Amino acid sequence: LMRMADVDFDELIRQPLLHPQSPAEAVASARAGACWLDVRYPEEYARQTLRNSRNLPLTVLRLQSQRLPKDTQYILCAEDSGQAAVGAFLLIERGFQVVYLAAPVAAVAVTYPELVLTPEI
């Protein structure tokens, strides 16, 4: 039995598994068939929703991941790329094909406004 420092765990295990994508790369992946998986709270998701995205908050991701098809690639996104990376790591541990957006969802919305659904009033 060994104990590993957080820094070593991050460098040796977590980082090699995670695959960040820029907004342009993520949009290209989505256009190629990957599914946006937004891990923000529902209120945040409702304010700025990406077209063809699914909302599964980070707080329930571990419990609800079995509802996701495993034959789909997912692009995890959030307000913060760190949150998206945590969600990506949780899904990778469960055998999913995952990349994460290395920028806030707002960065995609600004650069690709056609991908944002307009909230209904």
Per-residue pLDDT tens digits for 77-118:
999 999 999 999 999 999 999 999 999 999 999 999 999 997
Distance between alpha carbon 78 and the CA centroid of its chain, in Å?
Answer: 6
**pLDDT higher at 118 or 72:** 72
Q: What is the pTM of this model?
A: 0.84
In whole angstroms, what separates CA 112 from the centre of its chain?
A: 17
